[in-house]
Structure 1
Amino acid sequence: MGLISEVLLLPLAPVRGSAWAIRQALREAERLYYDPAAVRTELARLEEQLEAGEITEEEFDQREDELLDRLEEALRRRGATGEGTAL
C-alpha cells in the first residue's frame, strides 16, 4: 500500500485490529475444540458419568456420537495440515 492509502485507511485501523484479534481467538477456540486429547478426555468423563448413573444410556449414546464425530473431524484436520494422526 502506498502512503495515501495508509493515510486514508488509518481510521479503519481499530476495525482491522479487532478483526485480526477475532480471527486469532476463533482459531484458538477451534484448535482447543478439535484437540483429540481433549475429546478423548471428554469421552472418558462421559463413560464415568454413565457408570455413576448420572446420565442415561440415551444421553450417553447421543453425546458419545457427538464426541466421536468431533474426534473424527479432529483427526481429519490433523491429517490435512500434515501434523500426522498418531494416537
Structure 2
Amino acid sequence: MGILSALLTAPIAPVRLAVWVGELIRDQVDHELYDPGVIRRKIQEVDEARAAGRISPEDAEQLQQELLERLIRPAG
C-alpha cells in the first residue's frame, strides 16, 4: 500500500511543498510583525533616527504609534 499511496499522492507533492513554504513565510512575517522584542527594537531605532535628525518628530511619533498598536494587538 505504501508504493500505491506514494504513486497516487506524487502529483500533489509540489502543491503540498508550496503550502508548507507559504506557512513558513507566514510564520516569519507574523514573527517580524508581532514579536515584542522585534517591536521594541524598532521603537528604539525610531528614537535613534529622531535623535539623529534622520526623521521628523511627527514621523517618529506616527511610526511609534503604529509599532505600539502592533505590540498591544495580538496576531491573527
**Matched residue, 1:45:** 45
Map of 1:56-75 to 2, 5 A cutoff? 56-73=56-73
Q: Report whether the alignment pairs 1:22 with 2:22.
A: yes
Matched residue pairs, number?
A: 74
Q: Return the structure number with greater relative CO, CA threshold 8 A, min gap 6.
A: 2
Structure 2 gap segments, 5+ residues each? none
Give the secondary structure class of the aligned counterpart of 2:72: helix
Residue 28 of structure 1: how far off its partner (Å) = 2.1
C-alpha distance in 2 between matches for 1:47 and 1:6: 55
Unpaired runs of 5+ in structure 1?
A: 78-87
Amino acid at match of 1:51: A
Identity of matched residues, %: 32
Over aligned residue pairs, what C-alpha RMSD do you find?
2.2
Per the TM alignment, residue 5 of structure 1 is displaced from its structure 2 partner at its CA by 7.1
Report Cα offsets for 1:6-25 as digits up to 9, x if no partner.
64443111111211121122
Aligned counterparts of 2:68 and 2:12: Cα–Cα separation in 1: 42
In 1: Cα distance, 2:18 partner to 2:26 partner: 12
What's the TM-score once normalised by structure 2's chain length?
A: 0.76
Greater helix share, 1 or 2? 2
Using structure 1 for the length normalisation, give the TM-score.
0.68
